[in-house]
Structure 1
Amino acid sequence: MNNIKLQSAFFNLRNNKFFELFVVSIIIFSALVIGAKTYDIPADVLMLIGWLDTGITFFFLAEITVRFIGEPEKKRFFANAWNLFDTLIVVISLIPVEDSEMALIGRLIRIFRVLRMVSIIPELRLLLNSLIKALPQLGYVILLMFIIFYIYAAVGASFFGQINEVLWGDISIAMLTLFRVMTFEDWTDVMYETMAVYPFSWLFYLTFIFLTTFAFLNMVIGIVVSVMEGEHADEERAKALEEGTPTIETLHNEIMELKELIKKSN
């Protein structure tokens, strides 16, 4: 009976908005503590930061414990990838590696604690899940973009290599220069330099910018937005099923079934 009350209390606590906001504030504070260690600060302040970092680690351990005890089905807790990620980060943070050869890894693990904001905030989880699910479709777009980059880099290295070897010396350097052009980082300087020798070389740059910046990047944005809309729709459907409220699809199916029954009865 006491276990049920404890589980119910922890379940309500972990779903409490103020508790979630408090955890997010601690994660932000943890990021500030990590950033403070990169400055040249007095030894006393550094020791205080070390104690704060230890306290933050134990707070995260307590928070993970609350979430685990509050889970109605314990087996499902570690089935969630985000719960597994949070647990690994917290457990590894507990290992004392500051005075060992693993000190750098220990610091990296503490830096990754900032990523716990993604597991806490549902909107961030939706964004990241959408991006991961869009990767297979984005892969083909990126491959096509690489082909365009390679072709233009080969042309640029062949024609403009004698003009400026720093920018067009070989195909790899030419691809870096084209990335600069695509991001509009002083790309006109590059264009005017080649136009002094090849007056119509502006066609090379404009067609490249149109294909990459305007066409392919908009395709990437469109794919991510499309996947995000699908993820949002799936999430709304799952919430509706949990709450027992009918979705548009179920209502549509019921209407179609009623129409079929009316036709049969007539």
Structure 2
Amino acid sequence: MIPMSTIQVIQDKALALKNNRAFELFVVGVIIISALLVGAKTYPIPETISKAIVWLDVGITFLFLFEIIVRFIAEPNKKRFFHNGWNVFDTLVVVVSLIPIDNSDMALVGRLVRVFRVLRMVSIIPELRTLLNSLVRALPQLGYVVLLMFIIFYIYAAIGATFFAGINSDLWGDIAISMLTLFRVMTFEDWTDVMYETMTVYPLSWAYYLSFIFFTAFAFLNMVIGIVVNVLEDEHAKERAEQDEEEGNASLNDLRDEIRELKSIIQTLQK
């Protein structure tokens, strides 16, 4: 049995290493190198460089494994380590990366997993993690905006297919094609060409396009931005509250330690 004092020392050292800024920057650098290796493999490269990349990839995988182990040891409550979704994601990516994939049926899956190692940048950098958490929290509200946008698309596509199908069936032949054309209009991809073509038959059709652009590109886009910004502010407020609570608990613990020391001193003087 390993003494509890030894386990505590190991945990403290792992926690210090995990919170070390230099170690965090080192891991970020390794993730960037891993991403560059994934891109390098898409180019025709000499055999010697290809072998070097393979060995470098192996080294990066073991570095990731070491970093996961450090984070696991540093966790005071080991059972709660996998309650964090990012810890589960990082562990799965590293474990699958350890599986040999050369000349196997899982080669494609292994390569895809190595591509997803770039996402570990999000789990390492708190600011990116906050942005992604805010986006995920905003999805339920964004769903209603997307639904309303689909309704607008459907109505305008039905109108376009009804009036403009005879002008250009490639763009307005049916409601599905009309929705694709409207997406082109919303993204401003040569939308004036589409408008001028219909204006040769319906001179007032410009109102159809301008009203659609107002609803989709302007109104709905601003709604989406507003929802995301609002959720992001809530996330920052929650983080500040948690930080203030942690600082308050730390101050309270320091005060308790000082009171204990004073009690011990008084008891010593009384003796």
Residue 230 (str. 1) matches residue 243 (str. 2): no
Tell me the distance in 2 between the aligned counterparts of 1:2 and 1:99: 44
Tell me the distance in 2 between the aligned counterparts of 1:236 and 1:147: 39
User: Which protein has the larger Cα radius of gyration, Structure 1 or Structure 2?
Assistant: 2
Alignment partner for residue 163 of structure 1, among 135, 144, 167?
167
Alignment partner for residue 88 of structure 2, among 79, 84, 87?
84
Residue 45 (str. 1) matches residue 42 (str. 2): no
Tell me the distance in 2 between the aligned counterparts of 1:239 and 1:98: 46
Does the residue aligned with 2:17 lie in a helix, a strand or coil?
Answer: helix
Using structure 1 for the length normalisation, give the TM-score: 0.90
The aligned residue for residue 249 of structure 1 is none
1:1-266 paired onto structure 2 within 5 Å = 1-244=5-248
Q: Which amino acid aligns with 1:43?
A: E
Aligned 8 A contact 1:98 1:106 in 2 = no
Which string of whole-angstrom CA distances, capped at 9 and with x for unpartnered residues, describes residues 59-107 of structure 1? 1001101111111221121111111110011001101122111100000
Using structure 2 for the length normalisation, give the TM-score: 0.89
Tell me the distance in 2 between the aligned counterparts of 1:57 and 1:160: 57
Tell me the distance in 1 between the aligned counterparts of 2:153 and 2:241: 41
Deviation at 1:2, TM superposition (A): 2.0
Q: How many residues align?
A: 246
Gap runs ≥5 in structure 2: 250-271
Q: Which amino acid aligns with 1:15?
A: N
Q: Equivalent pairs: percent with the same residue?
A: 69
Q: Which amino acid aligns with 1:128?
A: L
- The RMSD of aligned alpha carbons is 1.2
Q: Which amino acid aligns with 1:153?
A: A
